[in-house]
C-alpha cells in the first residue's frame, strides 16, 4: 500500500470511521472507500462502488469481480454498569464475542482488576463516565446493579445515545417501576421501549453464568439483526 493511502487508512481507523480497502491483485492498485468518497489509484465504477459500500454497511469482507475487499469497521463495544457477579461472567463472554468491554461502577471496591482482569474499569458514576465515553451505534449498554441510583443515571445517558442495544436486569415489576422513574425524567414510552428488560433470552437460567449466557446471546442477536419480541 502506498504511504499516503496507508496514513489515510490509519487516520480513518483512529476516528472509528468504517472504511474498505479494495485491491486489484493483478495490478496492485488500491482504493479506500468510505460511505461518501473513494480515493487511490484504483477507481471503481458505480456498480462496484455500490457493492463495496453494501459490504461496508454489512461489515463483511470478500471479493467482487476479481477485486479483494477488506472492510475495517469500528470496534463493537459493551458497557456493563455494575461490577457484580453477573458482570464477572459476562465480561469474558463479551470479549470472546468481539466486544471491547468496559465496566463502570462508582463502588471502587467492586471495580477491581483482580475481579475483572483485562477489562477497562471506570470507578465513577455511569452518567459521568458515559458523557466522557459516549456510546456509539456499535455500543451495547447493560445495567446490572439492581440499584436505581446507579442504573437509572446510566440508562438515561444510554437512551440519549445511538447505542444499538440497551438492557437492564430486573423483574417485570422492577422494570415497570423503572419506567415510571424514567418517564418522570422526560422519556416517552417509545423511547423506553429501547430498553430490553428483563435483559437476556428466556433460557430459564438462575446462576450468574447462566444469566450472562442469556444476556450475551440477546446482544449478539440484536447485533445480527434479530431482536427479541417482548410482551
Q: What is the CATH number of the domain that holds 96?
A: 3.40.50.720
Q: Alpha helices of 59-171 — where are they, by DSSP H? A: 85-96, 126-132, 148-159
Same domain assignment for residues 36 and 128:
no
Average of pLDDT values for 21-29?
93
Same domain assignment for residues 87 and 67:
no
Same domain assignment for residues 109 and 211:
yes
Is 173 inside any structural domain? yes
Out of 44, 72, 100, a domain closes at: 72
Residue 17 backbone class (left: φ over 0; alpha: ψ -120 to 50; beta: rest): beta
- Give the least confident one: 56-65, 162-171, 173-182: 56-65
* Contact call for residues 46 and 105 (beta carbons, < 8 A): no
Is 82 inside any structural domain? yes
pLDDT beyond 80 at 229: no
Mean pLDDT, the chain, integer: 93
Give the cell for residue 192. Answer: 423506553
pLDDT digits (tens, 9 = 90+) for 197-217: 999 998 998 899 999 999 999
72: which strand partners?
Answer: 19
What domain count does the chain have?
Answer: 2
Angle between the N-to-C axes of helices 85-96 and 208-223, in degrees from 0 to 180, rounded to the nearest 10: 40
Cα separation of the two ends of the chain: 52
Same domain assignment for residues 25 and 118:
no
Average of pLDDT values for 103-108?
94
Give the range of the structural domain holding residue 121, as residue numbers without chain letter: 76-223
Out of 13, 47, 72, a domain closes at: 72
Same domain assignment for residues 90 and 170:
yes
Q: What are phi and psi of 61, to 5 degrees?
A: -95, 165
Same domain assignment for residues 99 and 24:
no
Same domain assignment for residues 63 and 84:
no
To the nearest 10°, report the CA torsion of 82, 180, 182, 137: 70
In the three-class reduction of DSSP (H, G, I as helix; E, B as strand; rest coil), residue 32 is classed as strand
The pTM of the full predicted model, rounded to 2 decimals, is: 0.79
Question: What confidence category does residue 60 fall into, taking pLDDT thresholds of 50, 70 and 90?
Answer: confident
By percentage, how much of the chain surpasses pLDDT 90?
78
Same domain assignment for residues 98 and 49:
no
Is 231 inside any structural domain? no
Same domain assignment for residues 49 and 66:
yes
Amino acid at each position: 500500500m502506498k504511504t499516503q493511502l496507508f496514513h489515510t487508512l490509519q487516520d480513518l481507523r483512529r476516528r472509528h470511521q468504517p472504511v474498505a480497502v479494495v485491491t486489484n491483485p493483478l495490478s496492485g492498485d488500491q482504493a479506500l472507500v468510505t460511505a461518501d468518497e473513494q480515493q487511490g489509484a484504483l477507481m471503481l465504477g458505480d456498480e462496484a462502488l455500490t457493492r463495496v459500500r453494501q459490504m461496508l454497511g454489512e461489515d463483511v469482507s470478500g471479493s467482487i469481480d476479481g477485486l479483494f475487499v477488506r472492510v475495517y469497521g469500528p470496534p463493537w463495544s459493551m458497557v456493563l454498569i455494575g461490577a457484580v457477579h453477573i458482570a464477572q461472567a459476562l465480561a469474558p463472554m463479551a470479549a470472546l464475542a468481539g466486544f471491547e468491554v468496559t465496566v463502570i461502577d462508582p463502588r471502587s471496591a467492586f471495580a477491581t482488576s483482580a475481579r475483572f482482569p483485562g477489562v477497562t474499569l471506570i470507578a465513577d458514576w455511569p452518567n459521568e463516565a458515559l458523557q466522557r465515553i459516549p456510546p456509539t451505534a456499535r455500543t451495547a449498554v447493560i445495567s446490572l446493579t439492581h440499584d436505581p441510583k446507579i442504573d437509572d443515571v446510566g440508562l438515561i445517558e444510554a437512551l440519549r445515545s445511538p447505542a444499538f442495544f440497551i438492557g437492564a436486569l430486573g423483574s417485570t415489576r422492577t422494570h415497570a417501576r423503572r419506567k415510571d422513574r424514567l418517564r418522570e425524567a422526560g422519556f416517552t414510552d417509545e423511547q423506553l421501549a429501547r430498553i430490553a428488560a428483563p435483559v437476556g433470552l428466556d433460557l430459564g437460567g438462575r446462576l450468574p453464568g447462566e444469566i450472562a449466557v442469556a444476556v450475551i446471546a440477546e446482544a449478539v442477536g440484536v447485533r445480527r439483526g434479530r431482536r427479541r419480541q417482548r410482551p
